[in-house]
Amino acid sequence: MMEMIQDCDAEFHAPDKDKLNWAETNFFGFYNAEEKLNVGVYALFRTNLRTVNSTICMNSGFAAAPWQADYVDYQSVIPMPEGCSLLDYTLANGLSVRCVEPNMVWEIRFDDGEGTAIDVTYRSLMPAFDIHDPQMDPMVGAHAGKFAWGTAYNGHFDQTGHFVGTVTLRGKRIPIDCISTMDHSWGPRPERGAPNMSWLHAHFSKDLAVHAIFSFDPEQNARDLSLTHGYVVERGEVFGLKAGHGHTVRLRDRFADQVELELTDRTGRVWKLAAKGLTTFPWQCWANMVAFNVLARWEMDGQTGYGEIQDFFELPQLTRLNAQDATRVVAAA
């Protein structure tokens, strides 16, 4: 397992040949805070199967089902183009991604041919944060720091940057100029058995942003969050988090309505921040998995920021939890 992200990590990694479920991903999430429009561009490559799962999602309201969002296109078996490179690819769903500078600058384009399009450029504000590098991530030596989302994050980095461009939603042009966080991961990714995860971030300016990954117990309604990885990026310098916890107040269907975090970085500074959910959207990122996504407004030390909260549950788990909830309601009646 490489302990430092290199330029070559922007390209596909050699998959474990005996793992048909090997996956390599790009996720680019960005938003227009005034419009409350949250946009997610995702590509999951099953390189041993030569297929791609790609989702393009746009949402500005309280969607309880995918079809209630502003725009959704889910395609799970797109053929990988011959000679496909993660540095420059175009998929049959209309998505094109070009890495202009390895792990630093990407161009993201999408056109569905029916009036919805994306044209944005991402420029990093920091080095890629490798969750397996003890020099970057103080949690690596701790039990929680071994969290790799099962094996899906055997290789993984998060990175905060500046997205600029436009989204066209059925002919309406919406400007994009925001600080947000992308990620890239690789490893075996089964469609059953992944632990629960809360992946979230808060962006206050080009000079200050927070990103963190938490685990949680779904049996406790996923209220209490335990830090597994994360960082504060301040004026381009990355401060890995060495401790932290949080508490989530959830709406029905498990969307985060309010979140409170207390985080300690590697220098011992404590960061306290709180979020209020502005949107909801159930992102079915791949088969059997739902991320309860929220665009949130964050407050920290008098500063206001924005960022996404993604809380991941598997569908078999959700059906079991919902059955338990129904039983409790009947028992209390």
DSSP string, 71-138: EEEEEEEEEPPTT-BTTEEE-TTSEEEEEEETTTEEEEEEE-SSS-EEEEEEEESS--EETT-TTT-G
**What's the chain's length in residues?**
333
Q: How far apart are CA 152 and CA 226, in angstroms?
A: 19
Q: At 179, give phi and psi (nearest 5°).
A: -95, 130
3-state secondary structure of 67: helix
Higher pLDDT, 253 or 112: 112
- Residue 16 domain flag: no
Residue 3 lies in a domain: no
Residue 169 has φ and ψ, to the nearest 5°, of -110, 100
Average the pLDDT over 272-289 and give the result. 98
What is the rounded CA–CA span in Å between residue 265 and residue 273? 14
Confidence of residue 3 (pLDDT cuts 50, 70, 90): very low
For residue 9, being part of any structural domain is answered with: no
Asked if residue 326 has pLDDT above 70, the reply is no
Query: Does the pLDDT value for residue 1 go beyond 50?
Result: no
**Is residue 223 a part of any domain in this protein?**
yes
Q: Helix, strand, or coil here: 143?
A: coil
How far apart, in Å, are the Cα atoms of 216 and each of 174, 180, 195, 247? 35, 23, 9, 10
User: How is residue 54 annotated by DSSP?
Assistant: E
**In a domain? residue 51:** yes
Report whether 39 contacts 55 (CB < 8 A): no
Integer Cα distance of 170 and 70 in angstroms: 10
Q: Per the domain annotation, does 1 fall within a domain?
A: no
Tell me the DSSP string of 193-253. Answer: -PPPEEEEEEEEETTEEEEEEEEE-GGGTT-EEEEEEEEEEETTEEEEEEEEEEEEEE-GG
Q: Which domain holds residue 288?
A: 23-332
* Contact indicator for 161, 123 with CB cutoff of 8 Å: yes
For residue 10, is it within any domain? no
What is the pTM (predicted TM-score) of this model? 0.95
Q: Give tens-digit pLDDT for 192-210.
A: 999 999 999 999 999 999 9
Q: Which residues, including other chains, have CB under 8 Å from residue 314's CB and lie 6 or more apart?
A: 192, 193, 194, 288, 289, 290
Q: Which tens digit of pLDDT belongs to each residue from 22-59?
A: 999 999 999 999 999 999 999 999 999 999 999 999 99
Q: Which percentage of the chain shows pLDDT scores above 70?
A: 96
pLDDT for residue 297 is more than 80: yes
Percent of the chain with pLDDT over 90: 92
164 within a domain of the structure (yes/no): yes
Structural tokens at position 203 = 């962006």
Tally the domains of the chain: 1
